[in-house]
Chains A and B, each alone.
Chain A
């Protein structure tokens, strides 16, 4: 319990660093490099939090969930979806997590879901293969991961499009710092639609268990009520689309810009796993998440008072030069060091095994295998920051806004 009220000012002695949110969205990495060098714990007024940016400090914070609480006061996520496991600490977090988790474990992914994931990927590729051009984000990755998510959650009568739209509406709510009433309205409509869909699915799963997340929560040993299932499904939909989608997009982009690496990976399919982990390190789909201190605590050379709001900037930790040499480079051969992209501790990403499988075992191999002569549209560029083919955007969540490619249509 974080009974301590939130402190929304800088801790005594904390450096105050002004960062422009538009700059951060365009490319947060130069600002992070500067923070790691000069102010590894800095109060950033535009974000209203202390940013913690060094790898070791983030790892330390993740190891202390009883100090760095997930229960954040005034959280936009709480306002958007209601109480949920992402903003809870143990033991309540653990009760919900263990109820929801079994269908996302790796053996279940392999035995229960992988076949359907693969069929959906083929269907989507069948649809575009003859065209010779597509936006791989909108035409392939997003519908694929949204359909897979509907399946794993057990939302039998929701389409991939429903899931993708709901996700977008909730993400907008979750970052509605400007308090725009239209955004709240859209988010409310989406959450109400999810509540209805979950209620129907839960009813069906009660009669006939189907191995899905909703079914698993309905039949959990520790009791979980319908509202809890609804809110947690909302949270999973909120994050479950953009993260695998964006890893797919960034990794495909990295390979399309690096023909030698791509050739090598195509020759050694086992290296798709490395591509996944290096992509998630290089451009983490989730860049940061909030924590609130339950007690006074010293970290990165400063004492933060109880109630302080902190952002663990995992995107920055993943570029920390003291851990990853030439951290800004995409390099499959770098020495294995654990990245922070899935978070750590009790909140370690529940979708990690689903994402790894759908992206590295299915989506990339099929796209690069089936679309002959695949290349970035309008002239391949060696730049990772942007081109006519698409660009990366965002800092709380980061990924390509589009990925326009061409190939030889069969």
Chain B
């Protein structure tokens, strides 16, 4: 059961534990983490589940897939090298302790 940490734009932090195999977006939404809107429910078609992976861990989380890469050009908050769609990040024990930053805007 990996634990992930969401850093919110107001400086607060939310620690969430989720089963391996679930996606990061789901972990956020089912725990009511503010700022992950996820309009399309995880189909990589809305770009409202955008997060920045902590710079020190970007290798660990890996890069975006093709569909995701395209959508990341259209996020409401600026795209950065560490940007991911949280619905495309699959959690595993290897990602235990992952820290992600939630952007100011999703739409």
Q: A interface vs B, CB < 8 Å? A: 62-63, 65, 94, 97, 101, 105-107, 277, 336, 338-339, 342, 344-346, 348, 350, 352-353
A346 close to B107 (CB less than 8 A): no
B46 close to chain A: CB less than 8 A: yes
Separation in Å of the A222 CB from the closest CB of chain B? 15
B106 touches A338 (CB 8 A): yes
- Interface residues, chain B, with chain A CB atoms under 8 Å away: 29, 37, 39-41, 43, 45-48, 67, 70-71, 73-74, 76, 105-107
Q: How far is the CB of A17 from chain B (nearest CB, A)?
A: 29
Min CB distance A338 to B, Å, is 5
**In chain A, what residue has the closest Cβ to B76?**
A336
A348 partner, pick from B45, B105, B106, beta carbons under 8 A: B45
Question: Closest chain B residue to A346 by CB distance?
Answer: B41
Cβ distance B72 to chain A, nearest Cβ, rounded Å: 10
The answer on a CB contact under 8 Å between B70 and A344 is: no
The closest CB in chain B to the CB of A342 belongs to B39
* Chain B contacts for A63, CB-based, 8 A: 29, 41
Closest A-B pairs by Cβ, 10 of them: A348-B40, A345-B41, A107-B70, A106-B74, A338-B37, A338-B107, A344-B39, A348-B39, A336-B105, A346-B41
Total inter-chain residue pairs, C-beta < 8 Å: 50
Residues of A near B43 (CB, < 8 A) are 94, 97, 346, 348
State how many angstroms separate the Cβ of B83 from the closest Cβ of chain A.
15
Q: Complex: how many Å from CA A287 to CA B47?
A: 23
- How many angstroms from the CA of A216 to the CA of B73 in the assembled complex? 22
The CA-CA distance from A256 to B106 in the complex, in Å, is 28
Provide the bound-state CA to CA distance between A344 and B40, in Å.
5
Report the minimum CB–CB distance from A110 to chain B (whole Å). 9
Q: Which residues of the other chain, B, contact A348 by a CB distance below 8 angstroms?
A: 39-41, 43, 45-46
Query: Does B70 contact A277, Cβ atoms closer than 8 Å?
Result: no
Closest Cβ–Cβ distance, residue B77 to chain A (whole Å) = 10
21 A-B residue pairs with Cβ-Cβ distance under 8 Å, sorted by A, are A63-B29, A65-B41, A94-B43, A97-B43, A105-B45, A105-B67, A105-B70, A105-B71, A106-B70, A336-B76, A336-B107, A338-B106, A338-B107, A342-B39, A344-B41, A345-B41, A348-B39, A348-B40, A348-B45, A350-B45, A352-B45
A338 contacts which chain B residues (CB < 8 A)?
37, 39, 48, 106-107
Per the bound structure, the CA–CA distance linking A338 and B46 in Å amounts to 11
Q: For residue A350, give the distance in angstroms from its CB to the closest CB of chain B.
A: 7
Chain B hits for A353, CB < 8 A: 74
Cα separation A193 to B105 with both chains bound (whole Å): 44
Q: How far is the CB of A147 from chain B (nearest CB, A)?
A: 24
